[in-house]
A and B are shown apart, each in its own frame.
Chain A
């Protein structure tokens, strides 16, 4: 029996062809995913170094360094020359910086991998760091923190602003791109020093997927062992703060069309903990990302027509507006859970659209926040039902298999697994989900969720900010202001529930209004 199991295990290992090998330098971890039928090769070079390692007055330094490496000249070739060289191959590379890791991803058709590889090597080992590239790359970064982050999506803005509150004073607070003041102060010499200090052979993990030869793999490993050899001491990420009651920050913005809301509180567990699978089941039922069958979505969007969607999270979800499935490359040890309420209507808009709402002072934000928090309170109180538990567990065991489809995604998820001390998180998660009981789910959600102490961020129009602040701090009743068109057809039980939600007490202790121009400074 034992040997049979051993054989099965061996077969499984061969089947997914995932191996970790020690190389000459035993400290470099390599994740291999050999796919002989693939027409491409994917390389990932991940450094255990993200924005948390930036000096406190140089926030954005890691991002600037990675940007200059990936968008500048290297090995004597200008950036334009590199782009020209790669064009016929349709090869590409980019760097992604998060709070705790920075990942370079290179992809090339197998037909050109030998010609492409020296470019990869140069980007990592011989970046030019030219003054001219520096000026261009820093202009883009400065522009992002000065303007783009506030102007392109109020939803992302509210999400970043929530992190600013949750981690205020800690190294997790800042945008990975930094702040207006810090980016201005970054010099080329500091970038060169950061490269030597934080992009080293001592904090790198390598990944390779697709149709590569053993020789190429060997060269890749040997070359990456030539990265800077300075000792890198990992910087632990700051922990999310516990709010004193519910603390709200309203960001007043000129010309906002709605109120974009994010709220969250610290979470003690991550994918490293087996308990995470139990909480994942509860969270999926409550607010699975972009799913019409989750509770928040049904209550706020589907029944009440208040916005485009409402979801909840138990870890950072990158680019939620665009991604239907969670991307890899953003592993974090410092965690929080959150609720995303997509923009709801503000008073000035509702008044202009419906004569029957001419007298309202506040739009739907207060009601929506009450409703979302009440749903969490109900779940904490009542737990999940057996039927909901079974349906959600079955769903997740199938759905999580969609996370890693392409070679790049598969490699990314395997590399993230290592961050959490796991070999193959998605495979292990399936087993964890399978073995999770309803009791464990209910125990986990009661242990990890509470709504008395939370941070809330709301991006809204200047006209809405003060009336909304007053309504929140005074716990004023916030009856849902439907148009007559919708209200006339609502079932009695919905209206009855609305009455409860309208006066649902929230433990709000503090409401600040901040001007948009003063954020991320």
Chain B
């Protein structure tokens, strides 16, 4: 469902920016100012509760740690996302119409979305409907059942989703960028999958049963509830509704991406939007113990955000570019650090790229200004604090880290690392990751060929 369009990357930057805050409370050592209660059922299902002062409201998520990354077999790209759609198609206990009626009776806002690393089923509604929410969710996670016809029919909705997304050239270049930057790892296809595979989805009914059997198991899932609830109440409901869920045995083996040895290029000829280019370097996998990702996030804010020297020069002073942004994508396996630029005039593309290369060279060789480093760390911490004012926003933050490590406490460990980032760390990650042999350049313009090769 989500693609790495400019907006999404910007959103991720904001999310990544929400990563450092020591609260003045009993949780004073931790970034999240509320305790995270975790309880593991005997079958391996992790149950996470965060009580939060939101009278009468609760946000309920099930994070399934399966996404486009797990689509290792040929011909089934986009399947994790497609499967998310199938989860709304009913069970023996509730036909799809009965399920719809029961869901409506919760009065909740419910939906789901899939990324490269996970599928997140979420609803927010009245806390006194929590029992019904648990019942409905456990029923479909344990007992999903759909006919072959239902399966074939739902494939049309996925094609409709692809169709609406395709209108944006940014979606199109994202698909090409992934395919170019990764040759072996499954990050080479987007969450939506290849269009040919989407058209072929109705023929994959048998595979869909295998997929459900592999991944819709307790060890791949986390139940997360935030809001006007207690851990005792949530744990009891989890035992009641998910206690009988049988553990599986499947282990997904995702192929490793070989080291890239030269700059790669990809171009989209399109005259409907201003000229655009992106520079994507191979980055690290997410970790809540290594300094690399936090240092890259600090670097991204200093070198590529709207307060960076680059933005001040190119966007505000010279007005040669419309937008610049950049950042590392949090992912389970090594992903991309992408810098994106939207041009005023395509003729200035080589100049803009040269300016970016100068900025990269500078951050590789010179320490960042200590005042700017401090200001950036403060920004990260307060951005996070400002963002957690509803049960839904807290749950979304936690869900992000559950997908990455399976453990919501990663949020606190990671943010503790932010405080430790030094100018030397920033220089170290610049040298480690901004390697021109590990770079993929993507361009959009009305020219037949890209201008940056």
Q: Which residues of A contact B (CB under 8 A)?
A: 37-40, 78-80, 83-84, 87-90, 107, 109, 111-112, 135-136, 139-140, 143, 147-148, 150-155, 157, 254, 256-258, 260, 290-293, 298, 301-309, 321, 324-325, 342-345, 349, 353, 391-392, 394-399, 401-402, 405-407, 483, 485-486, 488-490
Give the chain B neighbours of A38 by CB distance below 8 A: 389
Which interface residue of A143, A154, A305, A486 has the most chain B CB atoms within 10 A?
A305
Q: Mark B173-209, 1 if CB is under 8 A from A, else 0.
A: 0000000000000000000000000010011000000
B273 is an interface residue with CB less than 8 A from chain A: yes
State in angstroms the CA–CA spacing of A325 and B34 once bound together.
26
Partner of B107, one of A153, A301, A399, A486: A399
- Could you tell me if B319 and A345 are in contact, using CB atoms closer than 8 angstroms? no
Nearest-neighbor residue (CB-CB) of B111 within chain A: A324
- Could you tell me if A395 and B88 are in contact, using CB atoms closer than 8 angstroms? no
- Could you tell me if B160 and A301 are in contact, using CB atoms closer than 8 angstroms? yes
- Could you tell me if B385 and A345 are in contact, using CB atoms closer than 8 angstroms? no
Q: Mark B85-114, 1 if CB is under 8 A from A, else 0.
A: 000100000001100110111111101000
- Could you tell me if A486 and B152 are in contact, using CB atoms closer than 8 angstroms? yes
Partner of B389, one of A40, A136, A391: A40
State in angstroms the CA–CA spacing of A89 and B307 once bound together.
13
B135 is an interface residue with CB less than 8 A from chain A: no
Which interface residue of B101, B148, B306, B316 has the most chain A CB atoms within 10 A?
B316
A–B pairs, 11, beta carbons within 8 Å: A80-B307, A83-B307, A89-B378, A151-B167, A151-B169, A152-B168, A254-B272, A343-B164, A353-B199, A395-B105, A401-B126
Nearest-neighbor residue (CB-CB) of A155 within chain B: B164
Partner of A391, one of B57, B104, B199, B312: B104
- Min CB gap A214→B, angstroms: 22
B347 is an interface residue with CB less than 8 A from chain A: no
Partner of A87, one of B100, B312, B375: B375
- Could you tell me if A90 and B273 are in contact, using CB atoms closer than 8 angstroms? no
Partner of A109, one of B96, B154, B156, B386: B386
B124 is an interface residue with CB less than 8 A from chain A: yes
Give the chain A neighbours of B375 by CB distance below 8 A: 84, 87-88
Give the chain B neighbours of A140 by CB distance below 8 A: 322
Q: Mark B345-389, 1 if CB is under 8 A from A, else 0.
A: 000000000000000000000000000001110111111011001
State in angstroms the CA–CA spacing of A305 and B272 once bound together.
30
Give the chain A neighbours of B108 by CB distance below 8 A: 398-399, 402
- Could you tell me if A148 and B382 are in contact, using CB atoms closer than 8 angstroms? no
- Could you tell me if A307 and B104 are in contact, using CB atoms closer than 8 angstroms? no
- Min CB gap B431→A, angstroms: 25
B315 is an interface residue with CB less than 8 A from chain A: yes
- Could you tell me if B160 and A292 are in contact, using CB atoms closer than 8 angstroms? no
B450 is an interface residue with CB less than 8 A from chain A: no
Nearest-neighbor residue (CB-CB) of B18 within chain A: A90
Give the chain A neighbours of B159 by CB distance below 8 A: 345
Give the chain A neighbours of B322 by CB distance below 8 A: 139-140, 143
- Min CB gap B307→A, angstroms: 5
Nearest-neighbor residue (CB-CB) of A73 within chain B: B316
- Could you tell me if A150 and B306 are in contact, using CB atoms closer than 8 angstroms? no
Give the chain A neighbours of B344 by CB distance below 8 A: 139
Give the chain B neighbours of A485 by CB distance below 8 A: 152, 202-203
- Could you tell me if A292 and B153 are in contact, using CB atoms closer than 8 angstroms? no
- Could you tell me if A307 and B163 are in contact, using CB atoms closer than 8 angstroms? yes
Give the chain B neighbours of A291 by CB distance below 8 A: 104
B392 is an interface residue with CB less than 8 A from chain A: yes
Nearest-neighbor residue (CB-CB) of A111 within chain B: B382
- Could you tell me if B160 and A307 are in contact, using CB atoms closer than 8 angstroms? yes
Give the chain B neighbours of A147 by CB distance below 8 A: 272-274
- Could you tell me if B157 and A109 are in contact, using CB atoms closer than 8 angstroms? no
- Could you tell me if A151 and B272 are in contact, using CB atoms closer than 8 angstroms? yes
- Could you tell me if A489 and B107 are in contact, using CB atoms closer than 8 angstroms? no
B155 is an interface residue with CB less than 8 A from chain A: yes
- Min CB gap A363→B, angstroms: 10
- Could you tell me if A257 and B100 are in contact, using CB atoms closer than 8 angstroms? no
B390 is an interface residue with CB less than 8 A from chain A: yes
- Min CB gap A182→B, angstroms: 20
Query: Number of residues in B with C-beta < 8 Å to the partner?
Result: 71
- Min CB gap B224→A, angstroms: 17
Given A84-B307, A88-B374, A257-B163, 4 more contacts at CB 8 Å?
A135-B319, A301-B160, A308-B161, A401-B56
- Could you tell me if A490 and B149 are in contact, using CB atoms closer than 8 angstroms? yes
B210 is an interface residue with CB less than 8 A from chain A: no
- Could you tell me if A89 and B152 are in contact, using CB atoms closer than 8 angstroms? no
Partner of A293, one of B101, B306, B315, B392: B101
B147 is an interface residue with CB less than 8 A from chain A: yes
- Min CB gap B9→A, angstroms: 15
- Min CB gap A320→B, angstroms: 11
Give the chain A neighbours of B152 by CB distance below 8 A: 305, 485-486, 489
State in angstroms the CA–CA spacing of A342 and B152 once bound together.
20
Contact (A405, B147) CB under 8 Å given A90-B383, A342-B160: no
- Min CB gap A155→B, angstroms: 6
Give the chain A neighbours of B250 by CB distance below 8 A: none
Give the chain A neighbours of B381 by CB distance below 8 A: 90
- Could you tell me if B157 and A293 are in contact, using CB atoms closer than 8 angstroms? no
Give the chain A neighbours of B153 by CB distance below 8 A: 302-305, 486, 489
State in angstroms the CA–CA spacing of A401 and B55 once bound together.
11
- Could you tell me if A399 and B203 are in contact, using CB atoms closer than 8 angstroms? no
List residues 117-168 of chain B with CB under 8 A from any CB of chain A. Answer: 124-126, 129, 147-149, 152-157, 159-164, 166-168
Q: Mark B207-222, 1 if CB is under 8 A from A, else 0.
A: 0000000000000000
- Min CB gap A153→B, angstroms: 6
Partner of A406, one of B199, B376, B390: B390
B53 is an interface residue with CB less than 8 A from chain A: yes
Nearest-neighbor residue (CB-CB) of A90 within chain B: B382
Nearest-neighbor residue (CB-CB) of B388 within chain A: A39
- Could you tell me if B202 and A136 are in contact, using CB atoms closer than 8 angstroms? no
Which 3 A/B pairs are nearest by Cβ-Cβ distance?
A398-B107, A305-B156, A489-B149
Give the chain A neighbours of B162 by CB distance below 8 A: 257
Contact (A258, B163) CB under 8 Å given A40-B389, A305-B155, A307-B157: yes
Give the chain B neighbours of A83 by CB distance below 8 A: 306-307
- Could you tell me if B104 and A293 are in contact, using CB atoms closer than 8 angstroms? yes
- Min CB gap A494→B, angstroms: 10
Nearest-neighbor residue (CB-CB) of B384 within chain A: A90
Partner of B96, one of A84, A260, A302, A401: A302
- Min CB gap B23→A, angstroms: 9
- Min CB gap A455→B, angstroms: 22
Contact (A80, B316) CB under 8 Å given A88-B375, A147-B273: yes
List residues 406-442 of chain B with CB under 8 A from any CB of chain A. Answer: none
- Min CB gap A198→B, angstroms: 26
Give the chain A neighbours of B88 by CB distance below 8 A: 292
- Could you tell me if B312 and A290 are in contact, using CB atoms closer than 8 angstroms? no
State in angstroms the CA–CA spacing of A397 and B203 once bound together.
42
State in angstroms the CA–CA spacing of A244 and B112 once bound together.
42
- Min CB gap A487→B, angstroms: 10
Contact (A325, B316) CB under 8 Å given A292-B100, A293-B104: no
- Could you tell me if A107 and B167 are in contact, using CB atoms closer than 8 angstroms? no
Contact (A152, B167) CB under 8 Å given A87-B379, A398-B106, A405-B390: yes
Nearest-neighbor residue (CB-CB) of A303 within chain B: B153
- Could you tell me if B103 and A486 are in contact, using CB atoms closer than 8 angstroms? no
Give the chain B neighbours of A89 by CB distance below 8 A: 378-379, 382
State in angstroms the CA–CA spacing of A305 and B111 once bound together.
18
State in angstroms the CA–CA spacing of A147 and B274 once bound together.
8
Give the chain A neighbours of B125 by CB distance below 8 A: 398-399, 402
- Min CB gap A433→B, angstroms: 12
Contact (A90, B109) CB under 8 Å given A147-B272, A293-B100: no
Contact (A153, B168) CB under 8 Å given A305-B156, A391-B104, A486-B156: yes
Give the chain A neighbours of B156 by CB distance below 8 A: 304-307, 486
Give the chain B neighbours of A490 by CB distance below 8 A: 149
- Min CB gap A343→B, angstroms: 5
List residues 308-353 of chain B with CB under 8 A from any CB of chain A. Answer: 312, 315-316, 319, 322, 344
